Chain A
Amino acid sequence: MNDPARLKVLEAELATIAAEPYYEPVGEEIPLFEAAYSARVPVLLKGPTGCGKTRFVEHMAWRLARPLVTVSCHDDLTASDLVGRYLIVGDETVWVDGPLARAVRAGGFCYLDEIVEARKDTTVVIHPLADTRRCLPMEKRGELLRAPDEFMLILSYNPGYQSVLKELKHSTRQRFVAIEFAYPSADLEARIVVRESGLDRATAERLVKLGGMTRNLKGSGLDEGASTRLLVHAAQLMVRGVPPRTACHGAVAEALTDDREMLVALDELVGAVF
């Protein structure tokens, strides 16, 4: 913890994106986001895993030329993980800003991925940032950080989880402009797979078809169908010479389930298109 090198690494997390991250808009999400940014309203991205939420945020950060810090939330993530904490360096205590505080200071984007996973006390910290106050109270330092106009808070969450313990409270969600992400249309999804992997278009179309079939199984034994990300993974394996069935078994079937019968069924579906 008291390694100065580590502190440097932490600071480097807040990165400006140099090259344009590839992103295909599915609907009106880009103008909507831009409008929210100019109105200084935070944004909530909803949608299943692997449908492009994180990529979208990267793309928007590049587009609006703001530095971006991404925090993947987990169930032990606390408010101090976001705001910052004192560390011991030698016999001294040094304050280190958390990612959220750094994004506020720098006027960057702070993207909290899968916010429902985080501990409940984190939402208390983001509330004052997410309304007209736009400030971050840092209790331990007795400091109140005011967010510059360029700062933007972005949350994502997956409404598909049925657990009542993982619902977003209304006091939180009603502070945000919400943008829903769905799987792209077949044509667009094939284009994305081609672009991301270099696979030929015809094979990519078959992969997308497979993706659609797995999504038909959502609720009948699968919690989620194959995301675009999984399809891209399969495509990347194929481009490297892995036979399609093997690639899909590893990148799609096994990634989706451990259920023996479901695996057999998924392999059958793979066999149907390849």
Chain B
Amino acid sequence: MTVAQPLSAGELEEELEHGVRLTELARVLELVLRGLSARALRVEAGPETYTDTETIFLPESIDAAPERAANERLYKALAVHHWAQTRYGTFNADLDDVLEGFASRERGLAWINLLEAVRLEACLRRGYPGLARLLASLRPRLPEALVDAERELARPRASVGDSIRLARELAVMEPPAAFPYLGSLHPDRVKTVREARVAKERRALYRELAKIREGLAVEGAGEVERKPAPAVEVDASFDTLQFKLEVEGERVEPPPAVAALVRSIVQDFGAVPPEYLVAAGPGRYAPDAEPTDEPEGARAESHAEGGTLYDEWDFQRRDYRKDWCVAFESDVPRGDPAFVAGVRAQYAGQIAQLRRRFEALRGEEKLLRREHEGDDLDFDAVVEAYADRRTGMEVTERLFTLRRRAERNIAAMFMVDMSGSTMGWVNECERTALVMLCEALEALGDRYAIYGFSGWGRKRCEIYRIKRFDERYSDAVRGRIAGVQAKDYTRMGVAIRHLSKLLNEVEAKTRILFTLSDGKPDDFIDGYRGVYGIEDTRQALIEARASGVHPFCITIDEEARDYLPHMYGAASWALIDDVRKLPLKAADAYRRLTS
């Protein structure tokens, strides 16, 4: 992944007097598209304009018209048109296959592209008249020869199949000039991306429905005999993306995860295919790699010298494996001291803004009542004193109110994923995030510590010290932040247990365990993958919560929506779709968590 280097103001003006850069509009476009379709579409700069159904590639800048507004409109039209392709099913036919039947592949593709544009505009006219007006205003009038085709494609039931049929009829002619907002079609790239998503969402829906079924099955009797899993029906509308979920003939309010999945699946297929709803056994996740069973005797003690032993939860036995993991603590070796200075310089503006926002939190004033001395009379106290005097009771002297800064009394433990998968950009962003968090927290005055974690099997769970609670944000700490590196695997449960223990040793009213991670728990060695890893992590979080720690996780794993709610509970996590946003989002999440 690369990030466009921002140009200096001079360069920018010179190059684009009226032009628009994608970087200026990308966020707005992404927000609009997310609002429109309930599923995320990334907007990225690319040499060609097209969509693979998850990313829309747009030109880096547009300077086609003399006014800025017109260039912005073109960007919008490009984004909307390509979104409409994914929303109204342009890729729900295998275009690669279809094109085999054309004499000229190129011409066939050009016709399909054009006819689809006509059909999509009609779809938009029904649902989003404003967007249809935008597209219509940018294209030329259709030639006479296409009037019939246009009428046909404007029918509410028209699909990509109709466009293909018409393209076959019209392919004897050269297609008319393309509309300005028409990009290209890349059926092959779409196919790869779409197939991966389809498979992923099918698995995810399967899991979610299994959970709903399980929930219903539990209400039944003793569970000794396995009852057949209840039937699930989804009645969804392609036009509105509204749907009804019925389990055993009863209407069920779909959980948000299910709602998002169903909407996405309906956009890919027009409906939820019946085979998606076939019942699996109650409560089964999609079969993943199961943990290999080691003999119970193989405890970790013999390797534990200098380490701390922790239990691990085995979800299949519904019991702990005693003293299963060994955690070793060590300092992160110092890294390049220039790194932190570089981040501070590069993000000077954002850091200043963060500090201001965090200082505002600290500056919160609180009115203390019933004080011996203070700025004002405490009227309640006076009244009570009157009443007490009347009733012959002892009269208090605590009659004043006092304004004082509220004591926050929060201790935060930041737990940073240092697994191998964070190599490269994720690691870079994690380190940047740490610098910004430190800067912000210094302004705030909360006590905090930072530890990294990784490991290689249960006998070598590494906990890396970056900053202890009793350490200042010193050069040594800054050096260690710079030295954070991608290491091995992600055995999260033991890290949570160890760091919660450290956190609980700190005297504080509120304790927060804040995890920065790029994915789900995963340790290749001795089966800490899939369900096993997720369930152990969940158990560790439950233990942490029971001990008075508030866990929160911020992650950039696309699939996290499937398992994070299960692990952390619905309200204590945040998902970031773009790793570059991690530094700001992390600080922001912390601020919101504690205000």
Contacts and interface: CB of A to CB of B under 8 A. Distances in A.
Interface residues of B, number: 42
B35 A213 contact: yes
Contacts of B35: 213-214, 216-217, 265-266, 269
A240 B522 CA distance: 59
Contacts of A182: 253
A164 B510 contact: yes
B367 A86 contact: no
Contacts of A239: none
B137 interface: no
B510 A185 contact: no
Contact of A165 (B34, B510, B589): B510
A220 to B, nearest CB: 6
A85 B383 contact: yes
* Most chain B CB neighbours (cut-off 10 Å) among A76, A85, A162, A214: A162
Interface string B374-404: 0000011011101100100000000000000
Interface in B538-595: 550, 552, 570-572, 574-575, 589, 592-595
Contacts of B242: 185-186
A93 interface: yes
Nearest to B39: A216
B550 A86 contact: no
Interface in A209-244: 209, 213-214, 216-217, 219-221
Given A93-B386, A163-B592, A217 B128 contact: no
Contact of A269 (B36, B38, B379, B552): B36
A261 B28 contact: yes
Given A85-B383, A217-B31, A265-B31, A159 B571 contact: yes
A220 B31 contact: yes
A145 B20 CA distance: 70
Contacts of B594: 163-165
A164 B34 contact: no
Interface string A32-53: 0000000000000000000000
A88 B384 contact: no
Interface residues of A, number: 39
Nearest to B79: A268
B380 A164 contact: no
A209 B510 CA distance: 41
Contacts of B34: 216-217, 220
Nearest to B26: A261
Nearest to A76: B367
A108 to B, nearest CB: 26
A155 B427 CA distance: 45
Contact of A273 (B31, B129, B382): B129
Given A1-B379, A140-B387, A271-B130, A261 B27 contact: yes
Contacts of A221: 31
Contacts of B379: 1
Q: Which of A27, A93, A159, A266 gathers the greatest number of chain B CB atoms within 10 Å?
A: A93
Contacts of A219: 574-575
A88 B512 contact: no
A268 B76 contact: yes
A262 B31 contact: yes
A165 B594 CA distance: 7
Contacts of A213: 35-36
B439 to A, nearest CB: 22
A87 B28 contact: no
A265 B43 CA distance: 14
Contact of B32 (A80, A87, A185, A269): A269
A86 B383 contact: yes
Interface in A236-274: 261-262, 264-266, 268-274
B28 A27 contact: no
Nearest to A270: B130
A273 B575 CA distance: 29
Contact of A164 (B38, B253, B384, B593): B593
Nearest to B549: A164
A163 B595 contact: yes
B37 interface: yes
Interface in B106-129: 127-129
B240 interface: yes
B595 to A, nearest CB: 6
Most B CB within 10 A of own CB, among A1, A163, A164: A164
A266 B31 CA distance: 8
Contacts of A268: 28, 32, 76
A171 B363 CA distance: 31
18 contacts: A76-B367, A159-B571, A162-B552, A162-B589, A163-B592, A163-B593, A165-B595, A216-B35, A216-B37, A217-B35, A219-B574, A220-B31, A220-B34, A265-B27, A266-B35, A268-B28, A272-B130, A273-B129
Interface of A: 1, 27, 76, 80, 85-88, 93, 140, 159-160, 162-165, 182, 185-186, 209, 213-214, 216-217, 219-221, 261-262, 264-266, 268-274
Which 4 residue pairs of A and B lie closest in terms of their CB atoms, listed nearest first? A265-B31, A213-B35, A271-B130, A272-B128
Given A163-B594, A182-B253, A265-B31, 7 more contacts: A162-B589, A164-B510, A214-B35, A216-B38, A220-B40, A269-B35, A271-B130
